[in-house]
Amino acid sequence: MKSILTHNQKEYRIDLSKPLDISIPLHGNATNVNAWYLGHPKIEPHKNDNFIGSVTQGASTNFNDIWFNPHAHGTHTECVGHITKDFYSVNQSLNQFYYLAEVVTVAPEKNKDDLVISRQLLQNTLKDKKSKALVVRTLPNTVAKKSRQYSNTNPPYLTKEAAEYLKEIGVEHLLVDLPSIDKEKDDGALLAHKAFWDFEGEIRENATITEFVYVDNDIPDGTYLLNLQVAPFENDASPSRPVLYKTLQP
């Protein structure tokens, strides 16, 4: 199935039959990607009195309980409610689902004991490219990202100035292959989150941050159609499944 998308007076041909899924699936065991000092997610048959929700154990259906934390256990999309006293739901904040997105690859820069994505690095990478959505792939990029245990590893992160730059150029939906856009241990400062959502100014209620994506090396940098869908949880964050589609000018 093919479609034509018009954006900024340009037409793009989209082949909807060839999705590029950049989400990380959830596994109920220790191989699952993990962060923030939690145990691994669990997917287990529900047990109640003599009932065990497993066909292999005699039940008529498989009836699993699932325990996970969206921030720690896989691809998730979050809204400003992640850092506010007032309640904001990502299910309400994200009310459109298709965007033109730029996929870019960056090598985080050494800054003392940290690896950071700086404003200058993003400016040099993006040049004059502007889209409402931005997907950032970091180097090195290996499949180990899909099962890495990130707690106490000080992963790369965005500087406050980098997040401010993305806000300035109109990025409304930021997707990264990291557990957070902020430093793992920053005493709760959350400088990049606050800058991106303009926390001290006019809060960008409809802007979102998606973390823990995985962009395969077979997906080149460039312009894509992004379908960003979340599970309809009334929560600050929800599991999500971002999917890219190649764009070709007719």
Q: Would 63 be classed as within a structural domain? A: no
* Core vs surface per residue 25-46: b (16+ CB within 10 A) or e: ebbbeeebbbbeeeebbeeebe
Q: Would 50 be classed as within a structural domain? A: no
The pLDDT assigned to 3 comes to 72
| pLDDT greater than 90 at residue 248 | no
Q: Would 227 be classed as within a structural domain? A: yes
* 50/43 Cα distance (integer angstroms): 19
| pLDDT greater than 70 at residue 184 | yes
What residue has token string 């800054």?
111
The pLDDT assigned to 7 comes to 64
Model pLDDT for residues 76-119, shown as the tens digit of each residue: 999 999 999 999 999 999 999 999 999 999 999 999 999 999 99
With beta carbons less than 8 A apart as the criterion, state whether 194 and 167 touch.
Answer: no
Q: Would 223 be classed as within a structural domain? A: yes
- The model's confidence at residue 10, banded by pLDDT at 50, 70 and 90, is confident
Report the number of distinct structural domains present in the chain: 1
Q: Would 89 be classed as within a structural domain? A: yes
For 214-227, the DSSP string reads ---TTS-SEEEEEE
Look at strands 222-230 and 237-248 and give their pairing. Answer: antiparallel
The residue range of the domain holding 166 is 2-24+74-248
Q: For the whole model, what pTM was predicted?
A: 0.96
The pLDDT assigned to 43 comes to 98
- HSE of 18 in the Cβ direction (CA atoms, 13 Å)? 11
* 215/107 Cα distance (integer angstroms): 14
Within 10 A of 227 (CB to CB), how many other CB atoms are there? Answer: 17
Q: Would 65 be classed as within a structural domain? A: no
Q: Would 9 be classed as within a structural domain? A: yes
Query: CATH number for the domain including 218?
Result: 3.50.30.50
Q: Would 39 be classed as within a structural domain? A: no
What residue has token string 């506010």?
84
The pLDDT assigned to 12 comes to 82
